[in-house]
Chains A and B, each alone.
Chain A
Amino acid sequence: MSAANLRLDLPDMPEAAAQLRLDVRAFIDEERKAGRLPPPERVGLGFSQEMTKRIAARGWIGLTWPKKYGGQERSALERYVVTEELLAAAVPVGAHWVADRQSGPVLLKFGTEEQRQEYLPRIVAGECGFCIGMSEPESGSDLASLKSRAQKVDGGWKINGRKIWTTNAHRVHYMIALVRTSVVEGARHAGISQLIIDLQAPGVTISPIISMAGEHDFNEVLLEDVFVPDKALIGQEGNGWNQVSAELAYERSGPERWLSSFRLIAELIDVLGPDARPSSQEELGRLLSHLLALRQLSMSVASMIQQGQTPNLEAAIVKDLGTKFEQEAVRVVRNIVSAENLTAHGRADRLKALLIHAQQYSPAFTIRGGTNEILRGIIAKGIGLR
């Protein structure tokens, strides 16, 4: 390994992306003027089925997918532009986020034609959302130890098990669950498959898990003799681990990994003026340099995905850096707010509320979607240490 291998090319942004960016900004302006997009007092992805419908009406869900499924066959870099504009404005995109980023692309890559026909046009229309059924109570970082079982029965599979930390399971329609379909002695990554579960099916029980930030985003999903038909199997039986690995570059490198706390920084900037003390300006400048670096990295990885590469090492680095940045952002904003006495005496109430919530939320940044320690294990492998 040499550091020279650890290098990203600068992307070529397609011409159409500039117009697309302006279109998204115009949409956000309209939403703001109509009072549908107040400045947020919480960090993280909001959830609004109505907003998802309006975004879908613009054609911005499934942007890169084939036209025959309702997509527009535009590039990954154009999708990148749409997502970062929406996230930077804190548009609540949670209702379609997972389906657009991950579930749809998995179906395109591994699904059957029937599955694509059934789900993709509805995702594009903003009518159906997905959640990810990976973690289990006893299988967190060690995902391959999962115990949920799908047993082959006549015409389909019978699933028993328990999924946990399932974001939005109580609000979306389907889960792509990672379950064990066979036991292969000595090969723990084998025998795992991906199945689509209708969350309305008999035997599915969804219970809320309230986070320390007071939110109900997570759930525990109990699966008791849940029947899914044969056509619910994605890709090959037993190939689930490889399929999941292929998703991870999408999941890890996106702008959501460094834009969750963007509104907090925006509120600080709004309140802060040029008379801020030099130490505050230095801390802010340092934070901004990390923000700009992450944006450049994220765009470069989007460009690699566009070229058909699977940049798992680079994506793991973006998520490690991005989530650390988000925690650092909360710390820096807190320090500057304190040093400059910005929220005393009822000033800057929105900044104050957002900062409280961001502090409560911040431990999740480096845990959700794979802990940073696991990511660093992947990076270590990528640079030849294991």
Chain B
Amino acid sequence: MSDNQQFFRDTAERILADRLEQKHIVAAESRVLPGELFATLAENGIFLMLVPEEQGGIGASVAEALAILKPAGSAAAPGPLLETMLGNGLLAQAGVAPVEGTIALAFVGADELAGAVTLHDVGWGGLADHVLVVADDAGRARLTLSAGADWLATPGEGAAGEPSDRLSAPSLPGASAVLDAAGSYADALRRAALLRAGQQLGAIEWSFTRSIDYTGERSQFGKPIAKFQVIQQMLAELAGHVLAASTLLDAAAVGLSETLVAAAISRVGDAADSAIAICHQVHGAIGYSKEYALNYRTRRLMAWRADFGGVEYWRGALARGFITATREQFWPAVSDAGLQGAA
């Protein structure tokens, strides 16, 4: 981890420790944004992470943004944190100044924007200050920035209990801009999904560590359950998922190759599935109670794996990059996929 990444991680951990309590996480399920947390993140420039310095931002890399989002996932931080951070980054790419307040993101096909518009499952859509619609316009990303108040919101919620709303308007409100040539729709979606995978990894690591600790605290049959081989085997299996997912995610964040990002999202998806199953099994009944902190991570994993394409979409995308290769082209394609250290 670079010094910069370490700095951003420490900053995020400090802010989260100071400004996020369990009551805020619970309140988010009643559509209350953790306001103090978001104000402090804004004061510290976190929402300008992906805005270049010459446009008044921090000019951080995706790897550095992940250094913020992993601890946020670990802390089960609610709210459109990723969306506001990336939304400002996308706006900057299109030459638009960053906005104050929160951003909700909606990825859609351009054909969905003709006439009366309905956006489905928009995280924090009814509560965000701004709505940024990212439309796939023949491969280019067309951005339309509008005020949250321009939309009629029908509240809904996802698996984590956070708002996931339907937004409608008689016609697409707001002003549009097109990303420059370097910014395709696929690039924008890829970055969103990779950052979401970072949040997932944080939640996975928290659940893994908590489960290890719990097996030392909980005794049955006269000894800590950590001493049972069956428990050890399950957590050893999860350790493999954690190591594989985190290593591939780190590698993907460096080069942002299409192949590697898709692979990292898929691999984190498997780690998430395994973490949900194993951490709950290890915890037994207590982990199933709403009061115990585990479910605030595992329900986020359930929600997050479906966002920004969803894990299955990225698996298909990954396969399509290889499927036309011949038997002898396959290995070079694997070894040139952009892995770190691969010469």
Q: B-contacting residues of A (Cβ < 8 Å)? A: 1-4, 6-8, 10-15, 17-18, 20-21, 25, 39, 77, 81, 84-85, 88-89, 262-263, 265-267, 269-270, 272-274, 276, 278, 281-286, 288-297, 299-300, 303, 314, 317, 320-321, 373, 375-377, 379-380, 382-386
Contact = CB atoms under 8 A, between A and B. Distances in A.
B244 A294 contact: yes
Interface in B251-306: 251, 254, 259-260, 262-264, 266-267, 270
5 contacts: A283-B315, A286-B315, A289-B263, A290-B270, A376-B236
A303 B323 CA distance: 31
A93 B212 CA distance: 41
Interface SS of B by simple majority: helix
A11 B251 CA distance: 10
B319 A10 contact: no
B227 to A, nearest CB: 7
Contacts of B247: 7-8, 10, 293, 296-297, 300
B208 interface: yes
Interface stretch (B35-43, B113-121, B184-192, B335-343): B335-343
A269 B235 contact: no
A317 B240 contact: yes
Contact of B325 (A263, A269, A300, A314): A269
B323 A385 contact: no
Q: Identify the 8 closest CB pairs spanning chains A and B, nearest first.
A: A285-B315, A380-B232, A3-B205, A11-B341, A289-B266, A376-B236, A379-B236, A18-B343
B220 interface: no
Interface stretch (B53-61, B130-138, B326-334): B326-334
Contact of A10 (B206, B208, B215, B251): B251
A270 B323 CA distance: 8
Contact of A385 (B206, B235, B259, B326): B235
A6 B231 CA distance: 18
A279 B231 CA distance: 33
A382 B325 CA distance: 40
B343 A17 contact: yes
Contacts of B229: 377
B92 to A, nearest CB: 28
Interface residues of B, number: 62
Contacts of B266: 285-286, 289
B343 A293 contact: no
Contacts of A285: 262, 266, 314-319
B239 interface: yes
A290 B269 CA distance: 11
Contacts of A266: 327-328, 330-331
A99 B183 CA distance: 51
B339 A296 contact: yes
Contacts of A13: 341-343
Contacts of A84: 335
Given A1-B212, A385-B231, A289 B262 contact: yes
B209 interface: yes
**Most B-side CB within 10 Å, residue of A7, A77, A314:** A7
Contact of B236 (A269, A274, A286, A380): A380
B232 to A, nearest CB: 4
A51 to B, nearest CB: 18
A60 B325 CA distance: 29
A10 B250 contact: yes
